[in-house]
Amino acid sequence: MVILTLNCGSSSAKYQVFDWTNKDVLAVGVVERIGLEYSTIEHKAKDKEEYTAKFSSPTHKEAIELIIKMLVDDEYGVISDLSQIGAVGHRVLHGGEIFKKSELVTDFVIKELKELIPLGPLHMPANIMGIEAARKVMPNIPHAIVMDTAWHQTMPEEAFMYALPYSWYTDYNVRRYGFHGTSHLYCAKRAAVLLGKENKDTNVIICHIGNGASVCAVKNGVCVDTSMGLTPLEGLIMGTRSGDLDPAIIPFMMEKTKMTPSEMDATLNKKSGLLGLCGLTDRRDVHTQAEEGNKRAQLAIKMEGHRIKKYIGAYAALLGRVDAVVFTAGVGEMGEHIRLAALEGIANLGIDVDVEKNNNCRCRNGEFDISKESSPSRIYVIPTDEELVMTEDAYALMNNTYDIHTNFKYSFEDPNYVNKARARALVKNLEKKPFLKTILVKAPNAK
């Protein structure tokens, strides 16, 4: 039996096929440019040639139909027919205060998700469209929604409320929700394993740094604060999002430029962040330009590191004791210059980075410790695995064994857990970069 996971954006559909019996990834892929003149698919199956093609995909329905076709293809497929799919897990941006954990999809659930569109107008319509399309293509298979906001539901009122008219909360649900929840869940539980501690005894700060970025404070195994708010706009400097700013800037600039609310929203979400600062969004390009003397690129790196450092310091104060700081997601795992900009000069907090370890840690297939031996708090680089969280939630919902994460045990909480696909790739990484072996971290109670 396999579990299919889908992550549908406004013009894309990412997917993964997981062999539940052998606990291994069979295929991953993405369909892009949905609804445009032509769409593209990139399909990578285990032990097979990569497949890429252009095709017509006016809606997500055609995209998902092609994904299914690829999964059963004689040459590139990984299953013989749809009966091998046990369940489908769907990533959903916003659960509001309605969905506090993953749920099986029903017509009523779809109706409630549509009520939440105002809280995520850029992402929710695509998420829902993908679910509806997948249910049409696979009507006899259980479908589950996995909410990006669910992990953060343990935040106390003093963390999730804004100092705004209280009626905004009661009438319009304006509060902090937080995002990247599946990633923060995975990394929090993996950090506990690597520390050799129970979740309930673990305090960690997780920095999920990608094109979108957020920090999460985890106390006694649950989220107590996070940097993103009502939407994913608040918090860190991101690829195209501004992150924190003085709210008075918005009416000031609207008056100066005569921007409409929608134009301002687009500017803050799509034209700010690194793009606004230096004209680039990919941290690799920013780093290259900075090394070549581009002052604005240098400023962008300093500002991004400065913002992350501020959140680490604030959350260290909030937690009292920090067992580990975790970096994850594309930039967190591969951007040593961003990690260093965030970690330098905070040894007084008990968070002491080893510069050589950090600068040589560029790998997405292992878990690494880049802190000095003497550092009271460990600094881990942990590749996230949101798809595995989605897979296990979908499987458990299908079998009626699912519960909130504090009462539920994931496979990756086992000290002996191994991601087989990453383990295979890590062998090749270690051949090219032997130094990585010296910073690999293993659970202290693993066999």
Q: Which helix H or strand E contains 208, and what residues bound it?
A: strand 204-209
What CATH class does 2-147 carry? alpha beta
Q: Which position among 148, 225, 354, 393 bears the catalytic label?
A: 148
CATH dotted code for 197-382: 3.30.420.40
Poorest-pLDDT segment among 122-136, 265-279, 310-324: 122-136
pTM value? 0.94
Q: Is there a catalytic annotation at residue 24?
A: no
Residue 122, pLDDT above cutoff 90: no
Across the range 317-337, mean pLDDT stands at: 96
Dist CA 282 CA 286 (whole Å): 6
Average pLDDT, the chain: 94
Report pLDDT for 359.
96
Poorest-pLDDT segment among 34-48, 151-165, 323-337, 340-354: 34-48
432: tokens are 């090219």
409: tokens are 């045990």
Report pLDDT for 215.
98
Report pLDDT for 296.
97
Residue 157, pLDDT above cutoff 90: yes
CA atoms within 13 A on the CB side of 445: 9
Summarised one tens digit per residue, pLDDT across range 4-24 is 999 987 778 899 999 999 999
Give the domain ranges of the chain: 2-147, 197-382
> Which 8-state DSSP code applies to residue 139?
T
Report pLDDT for 137.
87
Domain 2-147 matches domain 197-382 at the CATH topology level: yes
Residue 70, pLDDT above cutoff 90: yes
Summarised one tens digit per residue, pLDDT across range 182-229 is 999 999 999 999 999 999 999 999 999 998 999 999 999 999 999 999
Dist CA 191 CA 198 (whole Å): 10
Report pLDDT for 209.
96
Across the range 68-85, mean pLDDT stands at: 91
